[in-house]
Amino acid sequence: MGLSMNVHLIDAFRNFVSEAELIDLSLVGGKFTWCNNRDPPTFVRLDRFLISAEFNLAFPGLLQKVLPRSLSDHNDVLLISEQSN
């Protein structure tokens, strides 16, 4: 029995992301960032970096990298740059 979702808050967040024109960077190293550790497991992408178009222009080539899980049920997500300067 999981937590109930507040659909109004979810819609408000989605609207904010859309209206602010935030960009969800490409994800490498995996597809999901959370697992419920049950049998059968549920995998979901919960964690992410959202950036503005201006930030993307100032720092091109950014990616999100999923790191292996350690103690948490969430994978850490690292912000990395494709460019090597």
Got the DSSP string for 14-70?
Answer: HHHHHHTT-EE--EES-S-SEE---SS--EE-----EE-HHHHHHSTTEEEEEPPP-
Contact by Cβ (8 Å): 1, 14: no
Distance CA 76, CA 12 (A): 25
Query: Chain-wide mean pLDDT for the chain?
Result: 89
CA 77 to chain centre: 7
Q: What is the predicted pLDDT for the residue at 26?
A: 92
Query: pLDDT tens digits, residue range 7-55?
Result: 999 999 999 999 999 999 999 999 988 988 899 989 999 889 999 999 9
Kindly tell me if the per-residue pLDDT of 74 is higher than 80: yes
